[in-house]
Amino acid sequence: MSFMNKTLIVNAHPKIDDVASFSIRTMNEFIKNYKDLIPTDHILEQINLYQDDIPMVDSTVLSAWDKKSKQEKEGKEVFLTKEEKAVMGRMDQIVEQFKSAGTYIIVMPLHNFNIPSKLKDYMDNILIARKTFAYTKNGSVGLLKNEGRRALLIQGSGGVYTNNDWYTDVEFSYKYLQSMFQFIGVEDFEIVRAQGTNQSIGVPERLEEAYKKVNEAAHRLAGTL
């Protein structure tokens, strides 16, 4: 099966199915339209970061990485603990699931101008040397480059971050995610914002605008499958 025959939805909302959430509602609107447009054999898979097991980089992970690095450098067999084997196995599952898809839909609320903590953990699971990028004598190279992969970020926020003001400058989530996806070779990166949801006026209109944009994104992404 070609990786272009799978879309992976990365749900980074702590309330994974809360219909009061504007990012979840926008995600649901996207999925509804996307399902009507994609081929019948196209696989739509979802990972819920606040429900599924997403390892964080802790002392167990660092110890396992140190041992594997030593093995590669010295050519000697190393022994991982039961806990280290388990967490390395889960991290391998996550990055392989990621690589098996050609389209990525990331859904998240904006938390203090940045990505939710579990999404950062997820990124640490997929930004793996020799899996999604490689070190060369000329610097780092994305291993998913020139493969037609693409990503859509659906972001919900209480404030507005597109007025070219202070809030625009400190909206780090989009900058970080776009940079990291480009780092591994995914150049096609788009954002749809369901923003201004905590403001006293204009919220229904902003949500309708977000729905319009994800519908357009669904048509664009499905049209190239």
Tell me if 47 sits within 8 A of 143, measured CB to CB: no
Could you identify the residue written with the tokens 């599924």? 52
Consecutive H or E run containing 156: strand 150-156
Indicate the burial class of 23 (C-beta count within 10 angstroms; 0-12, 13-18, 19 or more): buried
CA distance 22 to 27: 8
Question: Tell me, what amino acid is at 204?
Answer: P
User: 129: which DSSP letter?
Assistant: B
Please, which pLDDT band fits residue 2 given cuts at 50, 70 and 90? confident
Percent of the chain scoring above 70 in pLDDT: 99
3-class DSSP assignment, residue 188: strand
In 26-123, DSSP assigns E strands to: 43-48, 103-109
Specify the pLDDT at position 225: 67
* Percent of the chain whose predicted confidence (pLDDT) is above 90: 87
